[in-house]
Amino acid sequence: MKIIKSEILYKGKIFDLIKDTLQHNSHNFVREYVSYPGAVTILPFDGEHIYFVEQYRHPAGKELLELPAGKLEKNEDPAECARRELQEEVGFFPETLIPVARFYTVPGYSTEYMYLYIAENLRRSKLPEDKDEFLKVVKLTVDDAYKMLKEGNIEDAKTIIGLFYFFSLRLHNRLS
């Protein structure tokens, strides 16, 4: 695969929209995609409860229950980003941060690469929230979170992935 031409169609605050012309075996074709710096998702667990955030997601047209998450800043270490985002969104600092998975969120049209962590040994520590985020912290028991997942009441992909990892690790006695 060879990139013949790359142009920025839109340069935004959060992401850019790119149009690339590619060549494969003398055949040219176009791909458009969102260029995004990457992100983290954190599953905060206090031994009994999992902490979520509920927030309005405009493309979905409704509020979604999600694990805390956030965008990586330029050259930011994903673990440091996870610690910062957890303090901003939920008000906890994780004494233990366990890297669980890394994955592309939607590789068909985005460069977003996500790092998933489980946060344990939580202590209260609040950083100022982003001014354009309106979050409500939701604390659920492990059983209630499992029930919501099983019944299809959680619709956010990163949250579903995080919960599946969490429950799988617990099933195999790899977590508290």
Q: Which domain holds residue 157?
A: 39-171
Residue 95 vs residues 45, 52, 91: alpha-carbon distances, Å: 11, 18, 13
88 and 53 in contact (C-beta within 8 Å)? no
In a domain, 8, yes or no: yes
Residues 16 and 92 in one domain: no
47, 21: one domain: no
12 in a structural domain: yes
The contacts of residue 76 (CB under 8 Å, 6+ apart) are: none
Distances (CA, A) of 98 to 41, 53, 63, 121, 175: 12, 20, 28, 11, 10
Say yes or no: 102 and 28 in one domain: no
* Residue 21 contacts residue 30 (beta carbons within 8 Å): yes
Predicted pLDDT at 75: 93
In a domain, 93, yes or no: yes
Q: What is the DSSP letter of 90?
A: T
Cα end-to-end distance, the chain, whole Å: 46
Q: Is residue 92 located within the same domain as residue 8?
A: no
Q: What is the pLDDT of residue 129?
A: 72
What is the pLDDT at residue 170?
85
Cβ pair 120, 45 in contact under 8 A: yes
- pLDDT value, residue 62: 96
Residue 109 confidence (pLDDT): 95
122-153 confidence digits (pLDDT tens): 999 987 776 667 899 999 999 999 999 999 99
Shared-domain flag, residues 8 and 54 = no
Q: Note the pLDDT of residue 126.
A: 86
Query: If you write DSSP's letter for every residue of 110-162 in order, what string do you get?
Result: B--EEEEEEEEEEEE---PPPTT---EEEEEEHHHHHHHHHTT----HHHHHH
What pLDDT does 127 receive?
78
Q: Are residues 135 and 53 in the same domain?
A: yes
Residues of the chain with pLDDT under 70: 130-132, 174-176
102-130 pLDDT, tens digit each: 999 999 999 999 999 999 999 999 877 76
- Indicate whether 17 and 65 sit together in one domain: no
Based on the fold, state whether residues 76 and 152 are members of the same structural domain: yes
Q: 47 and 65 share a domain?
A: yes
Task: Tell me whether residue 86 is in a domain.
Answer: yes
Q: Does residue 176 form part of some domain?
A: no
Q: Are residues 77 and 58 in the same domain?
A: yes
Same domain, 116 and 86: yes
93/141 same-domain check: yes
The predicted pLDDT at position 60 comes to 95
